[in-house]
């Protein structure tokens, strides 16, 4: 085990037709994973279609034409897991197809699950079950209904909703305000004909694709997978543009939303004006960690521990759009008190009022978090996907070293350019 | 130093077990190549232990609901400040959680493991609680309770337990209520601490790339051995066999109705291997009845009665057991009726032997997958440990469980009169 340091690092092992294939080798896991990502610019015309497609594709493919057939087959493969979903990173919308399956070492027979897994994944993505040469109408209609409920169901998780809503309000004139699962309005006009047309002419041939394989898979077997994917019909591949991050804030906007809730949810959105591949981004990570990234942070210590106003109070970055959001759940009557404490912390950051304890703990917290990511295949993949999109391509150790080099002065230097943009409050309806 | 080693070659895992003279057991599950070291110090004391006879006393004591969770928060406070600050200085992530049955203190670190472990073992054994800090904590926990009041999934589960159980304290949320925590004081907290935090009622588990002998040496040095092992007398109200009520409903700010339904079990032997077999059997049955590969799931899904949020589970603990299934649905009562109908049909036709084998194989595969994550291993290990078994015992159960036994359990568990439904409806 001499090359332990090379484990959980990213290797690009193939690139053809706008498909990039990466391998992340690690022998410590019981399972292997295959992740296929389709990338697109976040856009009103396509966002809802991109979100609906995986939902329709997962309903069935040529060899396994129904949900039940796929589920039965996955059980045969020692309980392999297939899933799909949609995320956004900045103004890039990403459709994710995922398989996880037991490593051949633990199946107790000679079957190669890897080959079966990538064949199934490929078939689900490229060979949907059809009716009159388009998607099955019942599948499309049912999944439209499910997607509508998913979009409307955003209010069910109040914490997440309050964070998302704050950023959407803040960026309402920018593509970033588009929800990764699209909108109910756009859903109405989609039918199986139009969706299939979009799938066959745009989604499959023109969206850039990246594939990540993790775990313990021999190169020879990966070649088989590359051969299969090279058969995918591809046209000229679209260029996904990077997200603009600069915006000067003229004045702070206040948005209040009333709902039947018990606890008020306060979210404050900021423009950092720092891009994902800027050197300053490393200072920003440290800034956010000191301010609200863990129990050592100013927000936790002051909003929760000292003032007992909240159970949670944190800050979080949206790397690709250059945003930061602060979030806390409080009694509605404490809103002004909470805001005052929060903005005092922001001021302290600007003035460089950062104790050695806060600074050192923040760096160590980040280091611990980054090293810990190496123990989860999903987190490793998400980390490298972000690296690829940002164009930084730092491995874990490189980023850790960059963060360790950040100084208090670096943090204070960027503090002034972090501007509050929108204060959002979700609160109870008037009685 | 004496310790036991057991290898599980099929899944390439090993466990080291050490017994301290106080009666505390310590376990190490090494994970070569993992960055994270995850250590837990847990006590067999949770939110349901709200009535007991403190050691050396004669009278039983009823304490306010939510006190186990409150005590968990308060242990972080030490004479020289919050222990969180000390963990932060070491660059580790401390945390804790309280369930119905146990309270778990933990940290996750990638550096300075020994110092972190020393800190964990010390602070949990040294409470420092003042009236002032108790009052301050009421604001924080109050907001934690308020946060859950707005969580529809949580509310539907808590309401279901209230429908299944009439008197058992599992019907009360772990954190208690704003009302109940207002009654908590320093004296109550120390009474609970002194009753349930004796090492003989506790365990230590480390999962990660560590030297197990070093861990055991630290445990040997740090665990106090003062006094004899106290007898803990936990008191539970007599719970009737029947469910409390078949239907319960609450309105919240949600977009579509969501529900949880479940069957209440009436069994006395819930611990040990018996309980483990029963758990696997009911989970297998739930998969067979309503899992993604079942005909029922496909039908309900196609009719729009369930969606991807649908899921199910089975809980079996020292004196209660129940299944639970649910998700979003425009018509929860119809889903319940269709599930009852499917159960009736299976009761008539019998279980499908090939489905049984296929699902057993899949469940074993998914069990092995859990060993990817140090958190999952720890979490599951602790929850079965206090039931008197070891997480690796599942392997034997998956290999030996029979269709005949599972059929028996089917008839025992899925009784229509034991089913309750909890619905959250939009305001």
Give DSSP secondary structure letters for A195-236: HHHHIIIIIHHHS-EEEEEEES--HHHHHHHHHHHTTS---S
| B43 and B124 part of one domain | yes
Q: Is A260 an interface residue toward B (CB < 8 Å)?
A: yes
Beta pairing class for A323-330 and A313-318: antiparallel
Provide the CB-side half-sphere exposure for A191 (13 A, CA): 1
Among B134, B427, B179, B140, CA closest to A263 = B140
ipTM of the complex: 0.94
| B227 and B336 part of one domain | no
Q: Cβ A365–B82 below 8 Å, yes or no?
A: no
Residue B343 maps to a domain: yes
CB within 8 Å of B49: residues ≥ 6 apart: B68, B169, B196, B234
Residue B241 maps to a domain: no
Q: Give φ, ψ of A362 to 5 degrees.
A: -60, -45
Counted domains in chain B: 2
Other CB atoms within a 10 A radius of the CB of residue B216 amount to 23
Give buried/exposed letters for B29-41 (b at 16+ CB in 10 A, else e): bbbeebbbbbbbb
| B346 and B372 part of one domain | yes
Q: Is A153 an interface residue toward B (CB < 8 Å)?
A: yes
Mean pLDDT score of chain B? 96
Q: Find how far residue A396's CA is from the centre of its chain.
A: 18
Q: Cβ B293–A72 below 8 Å, yes or no?
A: yes
Q: Is A57 an interface residue toward B (CB < 8 Å)?
A: no
- Transcribe B387-409 into DSSP letters: TT--TTHHHHHHHH--HHHHHHH
Residue B374 maps to a domain: yes
Q: Cβ B291–A71 below 8 Å, yes or no?
A: yes
Q: Are A287 and A345 in contact (CB under 8 A)?
A: no
Q: Are A168 and A177 in contact (CB under 8 A)?
A: yes
Q: Nearest residue of A to residue B110 by CA position?
A: A368
Q: What is the pLDDT of residue B231?
A: 84
Percent of chain A with pLDDT over 90: 94
Residue B283 maps to a domain: yes
Q: What is the pLDDT of residue A67?
A: 96
CB within 8 Å of A279: residues ≥ 6 apart: none
Q: What is the pLDDT of residue A3?
A: 45
| A273 and A422 part of one domain | yes
Q: Is A5 an interface residue toward B (CB < 8 Å)?
A: no
Whole-angstrom distance, CA of residue B386 vs CA of residue B318: 8
* Whole-number Cα distances in Å, A358 to A301, B166, B199, B312: 10, 49, 34, 43
Domain final position from B190, B209, B234 = B234
Nearest to B152 among A75, A152, A156 (CB): A156
| B155 and B187 part of one domain | yes
Q: Are A247 and A415 in contact (CB under 8 A)?
A: no
Residue A235 maps to a domain: no
pLDDT tens profile B258-287: 999 999 999 877 889 999 999 999 999 999
Structural domain including B36 reads: 4-234
Provide the CB-side half-sphere exposure for A268 (13 A, CA): 22
Residue A245 maps to a domain: no
pLDDT tens profile A58-93: 999 999 999 999 999 999 999 999 999 999 999 999
Model confidence at B173: pLDDT above 50: yes
Among A333, A337, A292, CA closest to A312 = A292
Model confidence at B180: pLDDT above 80: yes
Domain final position from A194, A229, A264 = A229
pLDDT mean over B149-158: 97
Q: Cβ B36–A372 below 8 Å, yes or no?
A: yes
* Whole-number Cα distances in Å, A417 to A143, A324, A354, A358, A414: 44, 12, 17, 21, 6
* Whole-number Cα distances in Å, B415 to A224, A363, B264, B277, B356: 51, 56, 9, 19, 20
| A307 and A396 part of one domain | yes
Residue A238 maps to a domain: no
Residue A186: its H or E element: helix A184-188
10 Å CB burial of residue A174 (0-12, 13-18, 19+) is: middle
Domain final position from B234, B261, B286 = B234
Residue B240 maps to a domain: no
Q: Are A171 and A320 in contact (CB under 8 A)?
A: no
Q: What is the pLDDT of residue A8?
A: 86
A6 — pLDDT class (breaks 50, 70, 90): low
Among A58, A253, A108, A242, CA closest to A173 = A253
Whole-angstrom distance, CA of residue B42 vs CA of residue B104: 4
And the tokens for A9?
């690092």
Residue A247 maps to a domain: no
The CA-to-CA distance between both ends of chain A, in Å, stands at: 66
If you search the block for the tokens 């036994």, which residue do you land on? B405
Domain final position from B185, B202, B234 = B234
B272 φψ region: left (φ > 0), alpha (ψ -120 to 50), beta (else): left
| B281 and B421 part of one domain | yes
Among A59, A72, A145, CA closest to B361 = A72
- Name every chain A residue with its beta carbon within 8 A of the beta carbon of B151: 157-158
Nearest to B365 among A26, A79, A105 (CB): A79
Residue A243 maps to a domain: no
pLDDT tens profile A141-190: 999 999 999 999 999 999 999 999 999 999 999 999 999 999 999 999 99
| A305 and A421 part of one domain | yes
| A208 and A263 part of one domain | no
| B388 and B324 part of one domain | yes
DSSP H helices in B314-402: 332-349, 353-369, 374-385, 393-400
Whole-angstrom distance, CA of residue A129 vs CA of residue A69: 12
Q: Is A262 an interface residue toward B (CB < 8 Å)?
A: yes
Residue A194 maps to a domain: yes
| A105 and A71 part of one domain | yes
10 Å CB burial of residue B9 (0-12, 13-18, 19+) is: exposed
Model confidence at B228: pLDDT above 90: no
Percent of chain A with pLDDT over 70: 98
Mean pLDDT score of chain A? 95
Task: Give the 3-state secondary structure of residue A135.
Answer: strand
Q: Are B319 and B168 in contact (CB under 8 A)?
A: yes
Q: Cβ A304–B140 below 8 Å, yes or no?
A: yes
pLDDT tens profile A265-323: 999 999 999 999 999 999 999 999 999 999 999 999 999 999 999 999 999 999 999 99
10 Å CB burial of residue A356 (0-12, 13-18, 19+) is: exposed
Model confidence at A4: pLDDT above 70: no
Model confidence at A1: pLDDT above 80: no
| B181 and B264 part of one domain | no
CB within 8 Å of B196: residues ≥ 6 apart: B43, B44, B45, B49, B68, B232
Model confidence at A20: pLDDT above 80: yes
| B342 and B219 part of one domain | no
| A170 and A306 part of one domain | no
Residue A248 maps to a domain: no
Q: Cβ B90–A309 below 8 Å, yes or no?
A: no
Task: Give the 3-state secondary structure of residue B145.
Answer: helix
Q: Is A113 an interface residue toward B (CB < 8 Å)?
A: no
| B189 and B223 part of one domain | yes
A431 — pLDDT class (breaks 50, 70, 90): low
Residue B21 maps to a domain: yes
| B327 and B414 part of one domain | yes
Q: In what order do the strands lie in the sheet with A313-318?
A: A253-259, A419-428, A264-271, A323-330, A313-318
- Name every chain B residue with its beta carbon within 8 A of the beta carbon of A7: 33
A to B CB pairs, distance under 8 Å = 194
Domain final position from A229, A244, A278 = A229
Q: What is the pLDDT of residue B225?
A: 83
If you search the block for the tokens 């978090």, which residue do you land on? A369
Residue B322 maps to a domain: yes
- Name every chain B residue with its beta carbon within 8 A of the beta carbon of A329: 143, 146-147
Q: Are B81 and B192 in contact (CB under 8 A)?
A: no
Q: Virtual CA dihedral for B316, B320, B323, B329, nearest 10 degrees?
A: -130
Domain CATH for B314: 3.30.830.10
Q: Are B162 and B244 in contact (CB under 8 A)?
A: yes
Q: Are A150 and A183 in contact (CB under 8 A)?
A: no
Q: Please report how the helices B353-369 and B272-290 are oriented relative to each other, as an axis angle in degrees rounded to 10.
A: 110
Beta pairing class for B247-252 and B419-426: parallel
Nearest to B255 among A4, A7, A149 (CB): A149
Residue A242 maps to a domain: no
Model confidence at A377: pLDDT above 50: yes
Tell me if residue B72 is catalytic: yes
State whether the Cα torsion A258-A264-A270-A275 is positive or negative.
negative
CB within 8 Å of A332: residues ≥ 6 apart: A264, A427, A428
| B224 and B282 part of one domain | no
Domain CATH for A363: 3.30.830.10
| A177 and A56 part of one domain | yes
Counted domains in chain A: 2
Whole-angstrom distance, CA of residue B77 vs CA of residue B127: 8
- Name every chain A residue with its beta carbon within 8 A of the beta carbon of B111: 364, 367-368
| A262 and A357 part of one domain | yes
| A261 and A114 part of one domain | no
Q: Give φ, ψ of A412 to 5 degrees.
A: -65, -35
Q: Is A372 an interface residue toward B (CB < 8 Å)?
A: yes
Residue B242 maps to a domain: no
Q: Are B56 and B228 in contact (CB under 8 A)?
A: no
The residues facing B37 across adjacent strands are B109
Domain final position from A179, A214, A229 = A229
pLDDT tens profile A34-67: 999 999 999 999 999 999 999 999 999 999 999 9
| A151 and A280 part of one domain | no
And the tokens for A116?
């079966």
pLDDT mean over A6-25: 92
pLDDT tens profile B83-108: 999 999 999 999 999 999 999 999 99
Whole-angstrom distance, CA of residue A172 vs CA of residue A290: 29
| A188 and A89 part of one domain | yes
| B130 and B279 part of one domain | no
Q: Are B323 and B263 in contact (CB under 8 A)?
A: yes
Instruction: Catalytic residue, from B13, B51, B72, B279: name it.
Output: B72
| A195 and A267 part of one domain | no
And the tokens for A423?
């204060």
State whether the Cα torsion B286-B288-B291-B294 is positive or negative.
negative
A2 — pLDDT class (breaks 50, 70, 90): very low
Question: Which of A:301-330 have CB within 8 Å of B?
Answer: 304-305, 308-312, 329-330
pLDDT tens profile B4-23: 999 999 999 999 999 999 99
Structural domain including A360 reads: 253-428
Among A310, A311, A254, A245, CA closest to A284 = A245
The CA-to-CA distance between both ends of chain B, in Å, stands at: 62
């Amino acid at each position: 085990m001499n090359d332990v340091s090379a484990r959980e690092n990213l290797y690009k092992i193939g690139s053809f037709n706008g498909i990039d294939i990466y391998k992340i080798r690690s022998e410590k896991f019981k399972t292997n994973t295959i992740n296929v990502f389709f990338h697109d610019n976040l856009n009103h015309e396509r966002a809802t279609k991109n979100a609906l497609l995986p939902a329709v594709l997962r309903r069935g493919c040529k060899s396994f034409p129904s949900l039940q057939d796929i589920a039965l087959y996955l059980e045969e493969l020692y309980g392999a897991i297939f899933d799909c979903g949609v995320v956004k990173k900045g103004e890039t919308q990403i459709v994710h197809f995922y398989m996880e399956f037991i490593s051949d070492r633990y199946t107790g027979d000679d079957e190669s699950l890897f080959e079966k897994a990538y064949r199934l994944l490929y078939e689900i993505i490229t060979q949907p079950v059809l009716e009159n040469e388009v998607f099955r109408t019942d599948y499309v209609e049912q999944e439209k209904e499910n997607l509508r409920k998913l979009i409307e169901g955003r209010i069910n998780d109040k914490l997440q909703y309050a964070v998302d809503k704050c950023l959407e309000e803040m960026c309402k004139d920018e593509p970033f305000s588009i929800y990764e699962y699209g909108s109910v309005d756009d859903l109405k006009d989609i039918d199986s004909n139009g969706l299939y047309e979009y799938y066959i002419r745009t989604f499959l041939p023109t969206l850039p694709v990246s594939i990540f394989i993790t775990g313990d898979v021999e190169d020879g077997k990966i070649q088989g997978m590359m051969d299969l994917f090279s058969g995918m019909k591809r046209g000229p591949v679209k260029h996904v543009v990077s997200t603009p991050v600069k915006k000067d804030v003229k004045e702070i906007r206040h948005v209040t939303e009333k709902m039947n809730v018990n606890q008020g949810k306060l979210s404050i959105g900021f423009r950092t004006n720092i891009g994902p591949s800027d050197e300053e981004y490393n200072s920003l990570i440290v800034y956010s960690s000191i301010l609200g990234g863990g129990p050592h942070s100013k927000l936790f210590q002051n909003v929760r521990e000292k003032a007992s106003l909240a159970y949670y109070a944190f800050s979080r970055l949206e790397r690709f759009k250059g945003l930061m959001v602060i979030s806390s759940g409080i009694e509605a009557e404490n809103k002004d008190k909470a805001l005052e404490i929060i903005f005092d912390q922001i001021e302290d950051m600007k003035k460089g009022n950062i104790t050695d304890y806060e600074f050192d703990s923040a760096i160590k917290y980040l280091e611990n978090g980054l090293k810990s990511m190496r123990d989860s295949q999903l987190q490793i993949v998400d980390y490298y996907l972000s690296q690829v999109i940002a164009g930084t391509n730092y491995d874990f150790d490189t980023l850790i070293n960059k963060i360790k080099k950040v100084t208090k002065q670096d943090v204070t230097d960027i503090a002034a350019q972090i501007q509050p943009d929108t204060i959002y409050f979700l609160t109870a309806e008037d009685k | 130093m004496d310790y036991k080693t057991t290898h599980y070659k099929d899944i390439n895992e090993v466990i080291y077990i050490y017994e301290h003279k106080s009666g505390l057991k310590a376990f190490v599950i090494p994970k070569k190549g993992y960055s994270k070291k995850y250590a837990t110090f847990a006590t067999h004391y949770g939110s349901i232990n709200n009535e007991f006879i403190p050691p050396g006393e004669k009278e039983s004591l009823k304490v306010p609901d939510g006190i186990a969770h409150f005590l968990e928060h308060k242990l972080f406070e030490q004479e020289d400040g919050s222990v969180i600050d000390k963990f932060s200085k070491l660059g580790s992530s401390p945390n804790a959680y309280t369930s119905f049955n146990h309270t778990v203190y933990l940290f996750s670190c990638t550096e300075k493991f020994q110092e972190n472990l020393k800190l964990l073992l010390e602070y949990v054994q040294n409470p420092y609680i003042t009236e002032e800090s108790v009052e301050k904590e009421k604001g924080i926990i109050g907001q934690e309770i308020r946060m859950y009041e707005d969580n529809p999934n949580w509310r539907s589960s808590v309401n279901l337990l209230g429908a299944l159980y009439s008197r058992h304290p599992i019907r009360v949320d772990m954190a208690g209520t704003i009302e109940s925590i207002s009654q908590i004081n320093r004296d109550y907290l120390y009474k609970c601490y002194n009753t349930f935090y004796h090492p003989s009622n506790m365990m230590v588990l480390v999962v990660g790339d560590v030297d197990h002998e070093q861990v055991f040496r630290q445990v040997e040095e740090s665990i106090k051995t003062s006094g004899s092992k106290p007898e803990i007398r936990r008191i539970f109200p007599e719970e009737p066999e029947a469910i409390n009520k078949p239907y319960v409903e609450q309105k919240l700010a949600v977009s579509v109705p969501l529900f949880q339904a479940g069957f209440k079990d009436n069994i006395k032997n819930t611990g040990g291997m018996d309980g483990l077999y029963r758990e696997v059997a009911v989970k297998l049955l739930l998969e067979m009845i309503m899992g993604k590969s079942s005909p029922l799931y496909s039908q309900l899904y196609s009719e729009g009665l369930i969606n991807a949020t649908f899921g199910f589970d089975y809980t079996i603990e020292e004196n209660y057991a129940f299944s639970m299934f649910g998700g979003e649905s425009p018509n929860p009562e119809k889903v319940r009726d269709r599930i009852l109908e499917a159960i009736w049909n299976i009761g008539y036709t019998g279980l499908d032997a090939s489905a049984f084998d296929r699902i057993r194989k899949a469940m074993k595969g998914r069990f092995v997958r859990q060993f990817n994550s140090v958190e999952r291993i720890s979490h599951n290990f602790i929850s079965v440990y206090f039931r008197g078994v070891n997480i690796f015992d599942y392997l034997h159960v998956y290999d030996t469980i029979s269709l005949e036994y599972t059929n028996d359990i089917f008839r025992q568990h899925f009784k229509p009169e034991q089913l309750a439904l909890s619905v959250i409806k939009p305001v």
